[in-house]
A and B are shown apart, each in its own frame.
Chain A
Amino acid sequence: MRKSLVYLIPFLWLLALFFVPFLIVFKISLSDIALARPPYMPQLDLSEGLAGIRAFLSELDFENFVFLTTDSLYWKAYLSSLRIALIATFLTLLVGYPIAYGMARAPHHWRPTLLMLVILPFWTSFLIRVYAWMGILGQEGYLNQVLLWTGLISEPLSILNTNTAVYIGVVYTYLPFMILPIYAALERLDISLIEAAEDLGCSRTSAFWLVTFPLSRPGVTAGCFLVFIPTIGEFVIPSLLGGSKTLMIGKVLWEEFFSNRDWPVASAVAVVLLLILIVPIIFFQKNQQRQAEADA
């Protein structure tokens, strides 16, 4: 009895803060836009009893989802989000793996400090940090000033308001999510495995690819999903650092919701986004489960 009470806590939490809001959003996605407050209809009127509910249900339809397929903006935005998220995840991996590797190979007494330094940026507001990048990447920004001063370039680079700026922002923001799981995997790695590989004829490089990398793969997979999943729906970074050509579904959603005040279409976009994300989330869960089994 007590045991089931303990289980109940997470279930209630998810029910109240995930499932119920999702149902509300789903319901709005089936409604029609209306000049009203809230800006959609039908509204459920319980005073008319069963007939009211029937009338309410009969007005719900999948019109908005059909609409998403008719305008190429939406699927282009989804595809572009996926592409940006994939590239950004790969770039984060390229930057994060060597950092995690260096941390795991650092002397023991240095590791807590290094770990602290990786987490430290979280102590400043995410928004402020992204704004800071605007100052760095802009036409007159610090980066251009330094590059002009050193004479590497003669014309200022336009980085801000391009996809490049979005990649820089995503890599910077989500880097700790990539580093931490990879570091955890590498830190557990028995150094004698590398010595054994060398003893059996591997060079340093082949020992890395044949032993170190395969054994850190659970960490790499976890890190990639932790970066990929939030990046698909990312809104702040593309809207602050990206340009007018940066098409991401988070931005589309925001515009539908606040600029067009089309809550039903915005909700439909959100529901489809969730369905798209379910696939990588399931893979992520599988990966975590497999690792847990391997550890046991």
Chain B
Amino acid sequence: MHPARFTFSTRLTFLKGTDLAETKDHQAVFAPWEDPNEAPLIRFRGVTKKFGTFTAIHDVSLDIYRKEFFALLGPSGCGKTTLMRLLAGFETPTEGQIELDGHDIAPVPPNQRAVNMMFQSYALFPHLSVWENIAFGLKREGMAKDKIGDRVTEMLRLTRLEQFGRRKPHQISGGQRQRVALARSLAKAPKLLLLDEPLGALDKKLREETQFELMDIQEKTGTTFVIVTHDQEEAMTVASRVAVMDAGVLKQVATPSQIYENPNSVYVAGFIGDVTILQGRARKDGERYLVDWAEGQPPLVTHSGVEIGPGETCHYAIRPEKVEIHKDRPDDDNVLHGKVIDIGYLGNISTYHVELANGQIIRAQSFNTERSTRQAFTWEDEVWVNWTDRCGILLAG
């Protein structure tokens, strides 16, 4: 099975369920970015960062709110780490302004910002014990000795490291080191915690457990988290909102489900999750759009949030889990005929690659709900695929 996809879908159903039941669960109603009265904790105003002639960040404006778990997502070199280092104070913007709590933070050096960072390499001090690592920031603050002791103990308990206080970083496991780094960066109770690829060095299973632990700790401490990651599943799992970046530009900032179900560009649609993208021309048909995309293939139909002028070229994106596969022709919208040329069996789901008469490949996913080693479809089977008129995503350009 594909565990991350599983966590993602359970999270979606969880959100949907609470929406319907209108419970007081704050996770479901937590949306300060929709509240016009809410002042953001961090505000980027037209921030540009150049290294020589290279523009790492281009004119970024972004608001991040209190108690958010905000993810910066993008491929390596997209500028997400630079954005984070700007917040930490290790870089200064070439243009624009960054405000923390309404104050410009440009003149504040990193050692005086109420911002702490958890480094990708963890950057634990190898000559200090776990206890001393966590106490490091508190000692610099000049906190009283007994208070430091209490705070470190609290941090050790929060990260379940009580037994490891006396050990040196090289005497504990990778997962424990990760938690020490987290405890150290949380010890000073920062207004904002920055996490640079915090789970990158962990193996897959541990990473998934730790994702939930991070969410738990974030909720317990009420700290605002900004996480940098190139792993889209990680961003979707932990974040309240995700910013997708590419080449120094913010492509889309939205909740994980909005990003997944309503991407605003071909780039975002392709970067998040699996998708088949077709190119065509749109025309309006009542409430819906019809997209002519290939000779000899029926037009594809969908509802759309974006307006597309008649005859304009557009992209039509469809995610494999929305595509159904049938032996007989279903009586529905968006029905295409083709042949199975490839099957990806993952245990819980199977992905079928269906080749249409014009050579286009459509991917369809189905859940293997019954326990059987025999697949419903096999190679070279003639099949029909279809999806409803709400599943396709229409993208301009």
Contact = CB atoms under 8 A, between A and B. Distances in A.
Interface of A: 190, 192-193, 195-203, 206, 210-211, 214-215, 294
A201 B119 contact: no
Given A192-B121, A206-B140, A294-B170, A201 B127 contact: no
Contacts of B77: none
A202 B140 contact: yes
B80 interface: no
B127 A200 contact: no
B376 interface: no
Nearest to B134: A200
A99 to B, nearest CB: 23
B30 interface: no
Contacts of B140: 200-202, 206
Interface in B84-136: 88, 90, 109-112, 115-117, 119-121, 123, 125-127, 136
Contact of A198 (B111, B120, B121): B111
Interface string B118-162: 011101011100000000110011000000000000000000000
Residue among B109, B115, B127, B188 with the most chain A CB within 10 A? B127
Given A199-B111, A201-B111, 4 more contacts: A192-B121, A195-B90, A199-B110, A200-B188
Residue among A190, A196, A210, A215 with the most chain B CB within 10 A? A196
B125 A201 contact: no
B184 interface: yes
Interface residues on B, range: 20 to 34
B90 A201 contact: no
19 contacts: A190-B121, A190-B123, A192-B119, A193-B125, A195-B88, A195-B117, A196-B119, A196-B125, A198-B110, A199-B115, A199-B117, A200-B116, A200-B184, A200-B188, A201-B111, A202-B140, A203-B111, A210-B136, A214-B127
A215 B121 CA distance: 17
Contacts of A199: 88, 110-111, 115-117, 185
Contacts of B88: 195, 199
B111 A195 contact: no
B123 A201 contact: no
Contacts of B109: 198
Residue among B111, B126, B127, B185 with the most chain A CB within 10 A? B111
A213 B150 CA distance: 29
A260 B359 CA distance: 102
Residue among B90, B112, B125 with the most chain A CB within 10 A? B125
B90 A200 contact: no
A155 to B, nearest CB: 49
Contacts of A203: 111
A201 B188 contact: yes
Contacts of A215: 125-127
A200 B137 contact: yes
The 10 closest A-B pairs by CB, nearest first: A201-B140, A200-B137, A196-B123, A192-B123, A192-B119, A198-B110, A198-B111, A214-B127, A199-B117, A201-B111
Contact of A201 (B120, B126, B137, B170): B137
Nearest to A191: B123
A169 B184 CA distance: 47
Contact of B136 (A195, A200, A294): A200
